[in-house]
Amino acid sequence: MIDDREAMALTKPRSKRKRVPTAASPKRGTLRLALVLAVLVGVNLYVFLWRGNTSIPAVMEQAAMAGREGGLGVKPGLAPAKPVTGEATAPQAGSAEGGVEGGAGVEGGAEVVQGTGEARLVEGEVQNGDSMGRILRREGMTPPEADELIRTLQEHMDLRSIRPGQSYRLRFDAGGRMESFEFDVSRTVRVRAERDASGNLVGHSDKASTDVRTEEIGGRIDSSLFAAMKQAGEDTSLVAFFVDVFAYDIDFFSSTHSGDTFRMLVEKEYLDNAFLRYRRVLAAEYRGKAGTFHAFWWKAPGSSEGRYFNAAGESVEKSLLKTPLKFARISSRFNLKRIHPVLHRQRAHLGVDYAAPTGTAVWAAADGRIVGRGNMGGAGNCVILQHDNGLQTVYMHLSKFEGGQRVGERVKSKTVIGYVGATGLATGPHLHFGVKQNGQYVDPSTLKLARGPGVPRKQRAQFKAETGALAERLLRIPINAGEQMLVQSAN
């Protein structure tokens, strides 16, 4: 039997179940996609086949009409080229009224559409990190055009030597093709590349005409040779001449004194009356407490280059430089009983210390062969040179070595072999310069030095005749403005 509770359960209405939405049928999605594609195809057919001003036949007809009016032949299916600048161009000389110059051409088997903008001039300067290729790409040249120009230029200039600040100019015709290129190598040298009648690039190198004048310079030292040179109205680069030529006789870091004087006869090069640069120093004199020294430039018959001699025809060069670097001061001299600044005990100082900024160039003190080069403990980075006269020179505490040199290689006097530093046992940047004679260290300042070869005896008369006039002119150079007025009044 069924009791009342069962009966009620049977007669109670069933609760409704929640329906979970199901994914659309694959067939229904395919139909929707097909419908969208059909609409898009219809729109395109209307635009390109039936719509009046955009249909393909209408576009072809407009292109043909433009070609007939402007003298531009357009192949079927190829739209007219746009101007390079994106703007309408003015009528050009020799073209049809309102027409466009340029057009389509074939280059290397590929269709090339040349631009139809106006002719333009591009001017610029070399920037840091630039190469010639980078410059040409920056100015919009294609790789084939840039390669053609570079091959033309490299016959007239060293493309690796370009430097920031040099200027250039590029000219392009209305079709965007480069017509000419100019590059200012210096104030007197310009390299050009221009197209000839056949369209080929032809290179040229132009050198401006300059004149060289021999001029007189004189001055008196009050504080330094630098200041005296500036007071004379000259560039301080001339100080390097005195340091180079008289370095065998004068230590300019300790032997210059207030009241010393100098005189020079120097060649100056001018371009349109504007000073360009110093050329040769023909004659020079330095007079002071250290003595009086002269140098005359003279080129012997048959020689490839000139050299400097004193008034007696002796070479100003000696077997060893007084100082193996420029512009320093002596911070410690040769001393057998010196207290070492790092070890704080007595230890002989077998050389001369020249205090100078890190990176100051260090010269070979004489012609010789490199017999040692590397880190040598307390000496730090060190170079040792063996010279033909039996002397050996040592250069300690270098920050780095000059590149491209190695043990066994010969170097000439004044060749840079390294740079001042503070490697090894050093309290600050300086060069320790040592000299060995017969295997023993000697004081460089007391060493007797032999001169280089002088003027041969059979050429002495010719030397005297050619340098005598320079010597007389040198002696007449006034030292200051007061002397200049006295000389003028005497004349």
287 within domain boundaries: yes
Last-in-domain residue among 161, 185, 207: 207
Q: What is the overall mean pLDDT for the chain?
A: 78
Whether the pLDDT of residue 77 is over 50: the answer is no
Distance CA 263, CA 218 (A): 4
Q: And the tokens for 251? A: 């230590």
444 against 349, higher pLDDT:
444
463 against 414, higher pLDDT:
463
476 within domain boundaries: no
Distance CA 84, CA 78 (A): 17
Using pLDDT thresholds of 50, 70 and 90, give the confidence band for residue 484.
very low
DSSP state at residue 57:
H
Lowest mean pLDDT among 85-99, 149-163, 194-208, 384-398: 85-99
DSSP state at residue 49:
I
CATH number of domain containing 140: 3.10.450.350
The confidence score (pLDDT) of residue 78 equals: 34
Distance CA 336, CA 351 (A): 10
Tens-place pLDDT, residues 156-213: 999 988 999 999 999 999 888 899 999 999 989 999 999 999 989 999 999 999 999 9
Mean pLDDT score, 339-348: 58
The confidence score (pLDDT) of residue 310 equals: 93
Contact predicate 185/157, CB 8 Å: yes
The confidence score (pLDDT) of residue 452 equals: 79
370 within domain boundaries: yes
Residue 226 shares a structural domain with residue 198: no
Residue 233 shares a structural domain with residue 201: no
Q: Which residues contact 369 (CB under 8 A, 6 or more apart)?
A: 385, 386, 408, 409, 410, 411
Q: Where do the H-state alpha helices sit in 12-131?
A: 26-45, 56-70
In percent, how much of the chain has pLDDT > 70?
72
Distance CA 11, CA 5 (A): 10
Whether the pLDDT of residue 9 is over 70: the answer is no
Last-in-domain residue among 245, 274, 309: 309
164 within domain boundaries: yes
Residue 284 shares a structural domain with residue 352: no
The confidence score (pLDDT) of residue 312 equals: 92
- Domain tally, the chain: 3
44 within domain boundaries: no
Residue 405 shares a structural domain with residue 305: no
Residue 295 shares a structural domain with residue 199: no
CATH number of domain containing 372: 2.70.70.10
Residue 437 shares a structural domain with residue 400: yes
Residue 124 shares a structural domain with residue 200: yes
Whether the pLDDT of residue 467 is over 50: the answer is yes
Residue range(s) defining the domain that contains residue 352: 329-446
Using pLDDT thresholds of 50, 70 and 90, give the confidence band for residue 241.
confident
36 within domain boundaries: no
165 against 22, higher pLDDT:
165
Last-in-domain residue among 167, 187, 207: 207
Using pLDDT thresholds of 50, 70 and 90, give the confidence band for residue 59.
low
101 against 335, higher pLDDT:
335
Distance CA 120, CA 455 (A): 61
Mean pLDDT score, 396-402: 96
Residue 417 shares a structural domain with residue 336: yes
Mean pLDDT score, 455-474: 93
Residue 440 shares a structural domain with residue 362: yes
336 within domain boundaries: yes
Q: Is the dihedral of CA 316, 317, 323, 325 positive or negative?
A: positive
Write the CA distances from 241 to 13, 200, 315, 360, 417, integer angstroms: 120, 48, 16, 17, 20
Lowest mean pLDDT among 97-101, 344-348, 477-481: 97-101
Whether the pLDDT of residue 242 is over 80: the answer is yes
23 within domain boundaries: no
Residue 337 shares a structural domain with residue 442: yes
Residue 224 shares a structural domain with residue 183: no
Whether the pLDDT of residue 330 is over 90: the answer is no
Using pLDDT thresholds of 50, 70 and 90, give the confidence band for residue 132.
very high
Pairing between strand 352-355 and 430-437? Answer: antiparallel
Mean pLDDT score, 43-59: 59
Mean pLDDT score, 334-345: 57
Residue 379 shares a structural domain with residue 409: yes
Mean pLDDT score, 95-117: 38
